[in-house]
Structure 1
Amino acid sequence: MNLFFMIGLMASLFGLNYLILVPNEVGTTTLAVTTDKTRRKIQQFYTQGEGQHQLTVLNKTPQDLLKTTLLVGSFLSFLAVIVAYKLLGLFSLILAVPAFFFGMIITRNDLKLKFAAWQMEMRKGLSSLLEFMRAFLKLEGVTTKEALNQSIKNLPNPLKSELEKTMKSLAESGDPKAAFDDLADKVKDRMFYAVCFRLGVGWNSRITPEMCDDLIDQIENDKDIQSTKTSVNKSAVFSGLCMLGVLALVIIYGYPAAKLMGLNFRIGG
């Protein structure tokens, strides 16, 4: 019996090594093909929807997220197996797969949060931009272009650098609407759409200080809405963390407690 087992084990290992190491007709191994397909699937997960746009804005690549996923996913897989081993035995290895996928989700959400933080930094300078422009536009003979150029000098980054890029693009293309639409599409914020629309339409005429007042009021109202959304999101995250904490306690202490109460059961080895 042991002989047949050893023969079967050796045959299985040989077959596995053959599939992994021996090149096929096109000169690639099964391992290389499988790894490449897996890598592409994970990259698609990160670039779907607004993912590619967020990566571009933050100067990141899917490869950067793959490295983060490898670290986070491996750690969570290891942690899941260690925590559940006492309860599930060798079956705890099954948890490594969903734990790794959970690491992918964490990495994707981290990208979303970083993009949202960039949007917030851009939004912070928007009120200052309009206040400076309003002050310059009240001066006689000052055009929209002159008011914006003078205002940019007093703005914080990243808004300052993004507007400088927009002005450079405008100078090259000569199309103010397209240049400001590109900036609005990059930020993807409704107040930026409103401000960029006014700048694009009124570039060749003159934006009045009253228009700036109207936009400043809209920004203040939008701040209240964003604050409410942030509070709701924080509550949801806190609830999710609490549920994970309870689940971890059940996994760690549930089995010993059941044995203590006389409910002897065993799942796995």
Structure 2
Amino acid sequence: MSKPVVLVVEDEPGIADTIHYALASDGFEPLGCASGAEAIVQFSARGPALAILDVGLPDMNGFELFRRLQELPGGRDVPMVFLTARSSEIDRVVGLELGADDYIAKPFSPRELVARVRTILRRSARGQALGHEEKAAPALVHPAPSAINREALLQGSLVLDEERRLIRYHGHPLELSRYEYGLLATLMQRPGRVFTRDELLERVWDDPGESFDRTVDAHIKTLRAKLRAVREDEDPIRTLRGVGYALKD
């Protein structure tokens, strides 16, 4: 049985060697690149199961490399993780807004990195399996109204369609990552009810032990930005400092 290939784009040899050893010891096949140009070639040739991208590369910004990889055939189906020495909130938010699956700041624990890789791959496999099931399922020509009503949840200007995993805001479909969708869908289930960060981690993340409070905050920030893009004068999410978040009722 072939090992999952993990593309590691890191130009610092010491860090790259550490990542390669950790991945190889845990059953993965690391594929190393020291530049963005080399990564594009290897990505196209090998079709990795996951990519780890250093933000500070010698020939291009890691965020730009992310965009280019996503434009390649099958690129949008490959989970990607940013690895960087810059841990400021703005860098983290930029990475998450682009659609990255995770963001790890240096210095990091090799065991933690491998654990996150495994978690992301498990989640990705479940998502792909669900997608295949949906494609294989026969379409309903005339769905029963009761079925539609059961799957739709209306909260003010927000409409949740659980069957399609789609949320509309003032009639506009939102392009949400899996975490943004999970957070907003959770808040919509109980308007006014305050969910702590720990509760949101438990409900939305597959392996909450591998995520942190700041992960929730970063995703809420990107979610708010997408809501503001539809209606700049509204913010349906309420923040309780030091506690968590709620949907305004």
| TM-score, normalized by the shorter chain, greater than 0.5 | no
TM-score category of the 2 structures, normalised to the smaller one: under 0.3
Which protein shows a greater Rg?
1
Q: 1 or 2, which has the higher strand percentage?
A: 2
> TM-score of the superposition, structure 1-length normalised?
0.21
Q: 1 or 2, which has the higher helix percentage?
A: 1
Q: Which has the higher contact order (CA 8 A, sep 6+)?
A: 1
> TM-score of the superposition, structure 2-length normalised?
0.22
